[in-house]
C-alpha cells in the first residue's frame, strides 16, 4: 500500500509541476482558461457549441476536447465554428492530465486567444485530482441525474468554482429537485457560482455569456 501511495504522489507531483508551467504560460498571454468537467452526457459539448456560435465573433476561443476513444466532440466543435480545436484521445485513461494538455498546447496557435476551454473526459472522480493549469474548474450536472450528485462526488464540487445545471427544460419529468441540488452543492462549496441553463432551448445562457465576458475583461485588465 505504501508503494502505491508513493507512486501516486510522484505522479501528481509531476503533474502539478507541468500544470504550473501551463498556468504561467497562459497567464502571461492573459488567456482565461476553464476546465469543464462532468459525468458523461451532462452537456459539456452542447454548451461549448452554443458558446462558440454566440460568442465566436466577439472572442477568440481555443478548445481542447478530451475523449477516451473518439474525436466526435472535437468534430462537433469544429462544425459549430471552432477554428482552433485540438482533440486529445486518452486511449482509455479516465481524465486529462497536464502532460496531455502541454502536448496539445504545443500544437496550437495561442496568439490572441481570449478563452481556452478544456473539455475533460466525462468523469467526476479522476479529473478532480489533476490540475491542468486552468484558472478554474467548471462542473456541469443535468436534471437527468440525481440531485444528490454533489454529495456523492464532493471532491469535484469542492474544487470547482462554477456549477452549471443543464437541461432545465426537462424539469418535472423526473424527481430531480433543482433547489435541493444547489443546496447540496453549496453544502460542499458555499462559494460556487451557479447557472441554470438549457442548451436545447437556449435558456439561461445569456448569464453564462455575460460571465465569460467579465472573466475576459478582468484578465485583460491585469498588468
What is the chain's pLDDT, residue by residue, as a tens digit (223 residues)? Answer: 455 555 567 778 999 999 999 999 999 999 999 999 999 999 999 999 999 999 999 999 999 999 999 999 999 999 999 999 999 999 989 999 999 999 999 999 999 999 999 999 999 999 999 999 999 999 999 999 999 999 999 999 999 999 999 999 999 999 999 999 999 999 999 999 999 999 999 999 999 999 999 999 999 886 5
User: Which value, to the nearest 10 degrees, does the dihedral of the CA atoms of residues 139, 142, 145, 146 take?
Assistant: 70
pLDDT of the residue at 126: 92
CATH of the domain at 24: 3.40.50.300
Q: Is residue 79 part of a domain?
A: yes
C-alpha cell, 196: 441554470
pLDDT of the residue at 4: 53
Q: Is residue 108 part of a domain?
A: yes
pLDDT of the residue at 70: 92
Q: Is residue 223 part of a domain?
A: no
Pairing assessment for the beta strands 136-142 and 115-119 based on DSSP bridges = unpaired
Q: Is residue 118 part of a domain?
A: yes
Can you give the residue range of the structural domain that contains 135? 2-216
CB atoms within 10 A of CB 31: 21
CB atoms within 10 A of CB 211: 12
Residue pointed to by grid coordinates 478544456:
118
pLDDT of the residue at 223: 56
End-to-end CA distance of the chain: 47
Q: Is residue 222 part of a domain?
A: no
Q: Is residue 39 part of a domain?
A: yes
Cα–Cα distance measured from residue 38 to residue 188, given in angstroms and rounded to the nearest whole number: 16
Q: Is residue 221 part of a domain?
A: no
pLDDT of the residue at 3: 54
Query: How many domains are there within the chain?
Result: 1
Amino acid at each position: 500500500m505504501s508503494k502505491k501511495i508513493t507512486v501516486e504522489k510522484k505522479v501528481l507531483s509531476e503533474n502539478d509541476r507541468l500544470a504550473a508551467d501551463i498556468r504561467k504560460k497562459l497567464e502571461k498571454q492573459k488567456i482565461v482558461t476553464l476546465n469543464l468537467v462532468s459525468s458523461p452526457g451532462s452537456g459539456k459539448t452542447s454548451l461549448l457549441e452554443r458558446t462558440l456560435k454566440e460568442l465566436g465573433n466577439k472572442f477568440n476561443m481555443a478548445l481542447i476536447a478530451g475523449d477516451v476513444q473518439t474525436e466526435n466532440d472535437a468534430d462537433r466543435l469544429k462544425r459549430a465554428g471552432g477554428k482552433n480545436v485540438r482533440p486529445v484521445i486518452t486511449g482509455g485513461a479516465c481524465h486529462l492530465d497536464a502532460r496531455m494538455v502541454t502536448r496539445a498546447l504545443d500544437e496550437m496557435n495561442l496568439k490572441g486567444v481570449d478563452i481556452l476551454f478544456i473539455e475533460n473526459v466525462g468523469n467526476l472522480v479522476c479529473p478532480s485530482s489533476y490540475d491542468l493549469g486552468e484558472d478554474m474548474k467548471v462542473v456541469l450536472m443535468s436534471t437527468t441525474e440525481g440531485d444528490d450528485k454533489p454529495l456523492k462526488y464532493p471532491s469535484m464540487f469542492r474544487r470547482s468554482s462554477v456549477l452549471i445545471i443543464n437541461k432545465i427544460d426537462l424539469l418535472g419529468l423526473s424527481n430531480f429537485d433543482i433547489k435541493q441540488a444547489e443546496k447540496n452543492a453549496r453544502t460542499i462549496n458555499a462559494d460556487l457560482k451557479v447557472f441554470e441553463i438549457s442548451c436545447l432551448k437556449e435558456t439561461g445562457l445569456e448569464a453564462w455569456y455575460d460571465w465569460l465576458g467579465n472573466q475576459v475583461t478582468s484578465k485583460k485588465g491585469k498588468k
